Structure 1
């Protein structure tokens, strides 16, 4: 019998090693837990009671605006503002007490306080009387929100008059209202523009004014006075109907924003980067330690396409010529000047007569629309080409027309012009030539004193064609509130005749500038614009070298015809201003040695009034400036030729000033560095 040797097992030894390792790990864990609990327990307890970080933001100055040569148009005027930051635990009664103290140190405007604000204030200021507005049963049965709303409803006019009739109390209410805006640990502006005396008083008492700070702020300043102020726009509180829009973009309710024109259009560029204070708070909402500070900075700077020297001269010319035209009933006038190739607006001006003087109405260049008269005849001729009812040099007879329903119609001249080409029709401003284009488009079979059927779709064809030039549609200019003008509401045959000579639909002055620019630019319609560049803010007087954005010309469309046909119409517009029978020739308004101009005059009769208009461009061979002039609602068909006087003088001003612009020191060197 063979005996087998018994194999020795190693399992117990391995288990021992495992048990030892587990023991050591648990010992280390218990030791670590002991350190955490005994040694660092207090610190970890404090950390565990902290909540999320809360950030408070302070206002920052807006960016500046410059003209095309770097001259400051809109600046910031340094001021001091009174601000308030409340904690989450600050009670209403404490804020009321603080507002009462502040009222003894500052003067606060109360114009923005509404009745609802006063009701909220009355409840806080009169707690016992406010409680008595509800019965004990109502207090027991109603939710707190419903009870408060019922209190508000039961506050009488008599109750509010106790505040309204007490200026000191009303001032406290206004301060309290400003303090209550926004959220806890967010900076609320109570007053901008503190006086030296107010700053001194508050500084002496800051120890008893928790949450109150005096901060540097700025209001808008205009080195050129009222010039273009309406177009620059205004800054103010966020409008109530836009609170949601701005709220989604991290604005506070009491932030100041651009509320009109360029300030509003370029809010995202102009707004400053706020200083941020990040607090760590405990569970009760109280700050722990000092906040982390991220410094703010001024908003970005805009360089506009405007030439302020030209702008001031245009406004002066417009004012002087409108004053002379007061004898003809002149009450308004407009001018727009732009580069037809780039769309850059060089000048835009509007004036309106009020209380013995002409005041600014520049916004009217985009918002006021008028029948423009014969200035649109270039578009009518080109529409005739597009629909193949005429060709360049087509001869039509200018004659007296007799319609069964519209009666006798003729051009403005004493005698009929007879057979004329399209060029002569533009030169001498023949109405009959344009009417015949309209009749052919409408398939109207003209016979004296007889009526005929017509195709009303010609209206749509005309409007579609005119829209290619920017007439009857928005131009795309970078200003909010632009009007597209008004389309006539009737499709009667007689109205299509009026349409063809500019006496039916209405257009704005900026549409007229884009229209003539499209012709000057060989049929290419460019979007007009005021913004040229955006620069980073600079601590120096001059612009920063860092360009964040540079505008490039935006082509909107090319009109639907060959350039040779556009050039043909350009020739007709040259004849308007440079030949003996041209309607703009008389008076020698465009006989400068510095340039050769082309354009078209216009007179629209609306009832007993006349709108005098003029569009043009120069130099004829290589256009660099196009313009529109509109002087509406005059009482005479010639009215001293005010449209031609303004047109001639603004062109002279452009060519006199274009090489003499007063550029700031080192501006050219700065631009050269940018290009390099």
Structure 2
């Protein structure tokens, strides 16, 4: 078979100047070099044009732009988002926002002459002396931001300023929503109040989007659900001349309202409970035993949360804190009291659960109960005679439960009390809840330095002695008794609804 060299000669190899091998023919390599040169020239031309443009702006128009920068500035006019509304279970408004007017001045880009003229004119309108305004500007904590002169002024004052806006350089009338509680003190223990964020608080809150002067919940549901209730602020970016006048609006961001809360509270039931306590110290809690929902929660005396809007004066704050009736204390969750006869239910239930008494067994009550070196008495001096456990509960016979408590013993009473949560907070979701005091043998030894006596058990069996509970703990206990033994965590909030209507 003859030798065919064609398969070995179809591809040609070219040795490059650097000794490498290039498979491309010379014509292809020349074309590639030409394209590379063309692209390089284009890029250089673009950079040259950009450089010439910057040079022209700097040399021929630099003075113009410098003058514009000096004559004008960009200012952000913030508009706080409306706080979410709070409703009762039937849609009645418990907390909302109202429109308010605040007067601010932006003095930083005003000449001294113009600033003096503005201060001279604005002072009499808002009821501030020149020295006050000067001091406010000098002590303002955030330089180059608008200085608040007067907050929550009337419509008449705001209108007067707007009518003279052309001659009041740097002055702005800002609208902002402020919290309003239509029913005043009726729901203060539940709703709480708002307060202004100070510098110390801001150190930990800045990362969460808060700014100096923002208002946040300080107590009650306003505090617990602050993150839901507060919205996202919006505002305008405006161009301001060196005369302090607005030239135009550059941008706008719409504020997003906060989420609304629907509570389990029934306002009508709250009013009935409040009226029954008016003028007296105490607390009332109403629970739905089927769900644990709080229908009413009243503490008296209390305070009007509108006092904190826009901010409470030092005099009023001191008056509230020093009031001997403690209106800032929510007695329903913070007040600690001896439960008294309500606790007899625990004593009876512990005895029945342990099989220490039958329903028919009877104890005798003569009005007095001599025990060791003491004499314990029944609330009814003449006594109740012979009673079984049902009759003893109906008549709340002390001497019956003295005897039953001694049979049950302190350990069994404590064990059942713990099952009903009397040694811990109910977790209702309100700040500062107390857990009361459930005395035990160990507690008596550690706290008082002595052991537990049977006389202590006698007192404990009728809810006296060292035992302390909150009204809410007692309401939860009786709710569990009513529903067959299920202990619910009390609920105050049914739903959280976004500004778009989503749950």
Shorter chain as denominator, the TM-score bin is: 0.7 to 0.9
Q: Which residue of 1 aligns with 2:431?
A: 480
Checking the alignment, whether the CA contact within 8 Å between 1:64 and 1:72 is kept in structure 2 is yes
Structure 1 residue 339: Cα displacement: 0.9
In 2: Cα distance, 1:225 partner to 1:301 partner: 19
1:71 aligned to 92, 97, 110, which one?
92
- Cα 1:409–1:101 change in 2 (3 A) is same
Structure 1 residue 408: Cα displacement: 1.7
In 2: Cα distance, 1:251 partner to 1:56 partner: 17
- Cα 1:236–1:8 change in 2 (3 A) is closer
Structure 2 gap segments, 5+ residues each: 1-11, 17-25, 240-245, 304-324, 440-446
- Cα 1:498–1:86 change in 2 (3 A) is farther
Q: Which residue of 2 aligns with 1:661?
A: none
1:297 aligned to 256, 265, 270, which one?
256
Q: Which residue of 1 aligns with 2:459?
A: 498
Structure 1 gap segments, 5+ residues each: 1-6, 109-166, 281-286, 323-330, 443-457, 538-543, 549-676
Checking the alignment, whether the CA contact within 8 Å between 1:351 and 1:361 is kept in structure 2 is no
In 2: Cα distance, 1:353 partner to 1:39 partner: 71
- Cα 1:352–1:16 change in 2 (3 A) is closer
Equivalent residue runs for 1:352-501 within 5 Å: 352=301, 363-386=330-353, 388=354, 390-393=356-359, 395=361, 397-398=363-364, 401-405=369-373, 407-415=374-382, 420-442=387-409, 458=410, 462-487=413-438, 489-490=447-448, 491-493=451-453, 494-501=455-462
Q: Which residue of 1 aligns with 2:482?
A: 520
Larger radius of gyration: 2
Structure 1 residue 254: Cα displacement: 0.6
* 1:346 and 2:306 correspond: no
Equivalent residue runs for 1:319-338 within 5 Å: 319=278, 331-338=280-287
SS of the counterpart of 2:41? helix
* 1:181 and 2:141 correspond: yes
Deviates more, 1:207-216 or 1:337-346: 207-216
In 1: Cα distance, 2:13 partner to 2:432 partner: 98
- Cα 1:295–1:28 change in 2 (3 A) is same
TM value normalised by structure 2: 0.72
Checking the alignment, whether the CA contact within 8 Å between 2:195 and 2:217 is kept in structure 1 is yes
Q: Which residue of 2 aligns with 1:327?
A: none
Q: Which residue of 2 aligns with 1:314?
A: 273
Checking the alignment, whether the CA contact within 8 Å between 2:364 and 2:400 is kept in structure 1 is yes
Q: Which residue of 1 aligns with 2:493?
A: 531
Deviates more, 1:523-532 or 1:210-219: 210-219
Deviates more, 1:208-217 or 1:300-309: 208-217
In 2: Cα distance, 1:479 partner to 1:465 partner: 26
TM value normalised by structure 1: 0.55
In 2: Cα distance, 1:92 partner to 1:422 partner: 88
Structure 1 residue 240: Cα displacement: 5.5
- Cα 1:174–1:438 change in 2 (3 A) is farther
Equivalent residue runs for 1:20-31 within 5 Å: 20-31=34-45
In 1: Cα distance, 2:271 partner to 2:182 partner: 12
Checking the alignment, whether the CA contact within 8 Å between 2:185 and 2:302 is kept in structure 1 is no
In 1: Cα distance, 2:265 partner to 2:51 partner: 71
In 2: Cα distance, 1:436 partner to 1:476 partner: 34
